[in-house]
Structure 1
Amino acid sequence: MDSSEFLRFLRTRSSVRDYYGQPLEAEDIDYILACASTAPSAGNREAWDVVVVTDDDIRLELSSAALDQVHVTEAPAVFVVCANYVRSISRYGERGILYAVQDATIACTYMMLAAHARGLHSCWTGAFEEESVREILDLPQHIRPIVLLTVGKGRPPLEPMERMPVEEHLHRETW
């Protein structure tokens, strides 16, 4: 893939909240996780974990914890991407908390791109009640849920979202 193909690939990915509901194949889940495992991480600590949820009842509970966002229930799979503080704090002390969050977000980004490469759709869902998710999934205290990533076959928007020009984000040398 050349650089123009890569940019086209990135531009054709979009958040999808409308899913057909057909189950995700085990091979798709394995591919997404394999791609996530290649993500860069601070000190190669790989301070992230993921809970893959395909059970209807648990997805319904997660939807409730996600402020009743329906797509969390309708997607055939929810990848709950978590920061694992112990892995990074053991090397970096308190700064490891930030590194674990960064590791989890990078791994989740790779998961979104992997889903796109498989012809699947995803939606990064960051609005949720953290303690509810922790309780639903029985997460240990050193694990923090960062993203509920919904994945499945869906209906992408008819028109791509308009993006700000790069210049709106850019500062050279100093602010």
Structure 2
Amino acid sequence: MDSSEFLHFLATRVSVREYDGDCISEEDAEYLLTAASKAPSAGNLEAWDVVIVTDPGQLEMLSDAAGNQHQIRDSGCVFCVCANYVRSMSRYGDRGIMFAVEDATIAATYMMLAAHARRLHTCWIGAFDDNEVKGILDLPAHIRPVTLLCVGKGEAPARGPERMAPSGHTHYDIWQAPIVP
């Protein structure tokens, strides 16, 4: 894949909210997990864990915990990607909390891209009640859910959203406010 193909690959990945409800195959799930295991990680501690949820009752409860976002229930499969604080705090102390969230975020991003490579669709859900999700999935105290990643076959929107130009995010050497005409 050359650099222009890579940018096209990234541009064609969009969040999908309409799914057929079928669970992904075990082979696809393993592929996504393998991709996540290749993600960079602070101190190579891989301070992330995943709970794969396919049970319709569990998906319904997760949907409720996320403000009734139907794509959670309809996707048939959700990867709850979690930060494992203890794993990174063992080396980095309090700063390890941030590193664990970063590790989980990068791992989830790799899963999204791996799903796209497998012609699967995803939707990153970050708006949910942490305590409800922890209770539904019986997560230990040192584990924080970072995203509910819906994965499955779905109906992609006709086109992706408009994006801000890179220059709108970029500052050189120091933070400079944008020039307003």
Q: Normalising by the residue count of structure 1, what TM-score does the alignment of the two structures yield?
A: 0.99
Alignment size in residue pairs: 175
Aligned pairs for 1:10-159 (under 5 A) are: 10-159=10-159
Q: CA deviation at 1:166?
A: 0.8
Give the structure with higher Rg (CA). 2
Q: CA deviation at 1:161?
A: 1.1
Counterpart of 2:179 in structure 1 is none
Report % sequence identity.
61
**What is the CA deviation profile of residues 96-150 of structure 1, one whole-angstrom value per residue up to 9, with x for unaligned ones?**
0000000000000001001000000000000000000000000000100010000
Counterpart of 2:6 in structure 1 is 6
Q: CA deviation at 1:23?
A: 2.2
SS of 2:83 mapped into structure 1? strand
- Which ranges of structure 2 fall in alignment gaps of 5 or more residues? 176-181
Q: CA deviation at 1:40?
A: 0.3
SS of 2:160 mapped into structure 1? coil
Which runs of 4 or more aligned residues in structure 1 lie more than 3 Å from their structure 2 counterparts after TM superposition? none
Q: CA deviation at 1:76?
A: 1.3
For the aligned residue pairs, the C-alpha RMSD in angstroms reads 0.6
Q: CA deviation at 1:160?
A: 1.9
Counterpart of 2:178 in structure 1 is none
Distance 1:82 1:48 in 2: 5
Distance 1:22 1:83 in 2: 27
Q: CA deviation at 1:165?
A: 0.8
Distance 1:6 1:151 in 2: 21
Distance 2:3 2:37 in 1: 23
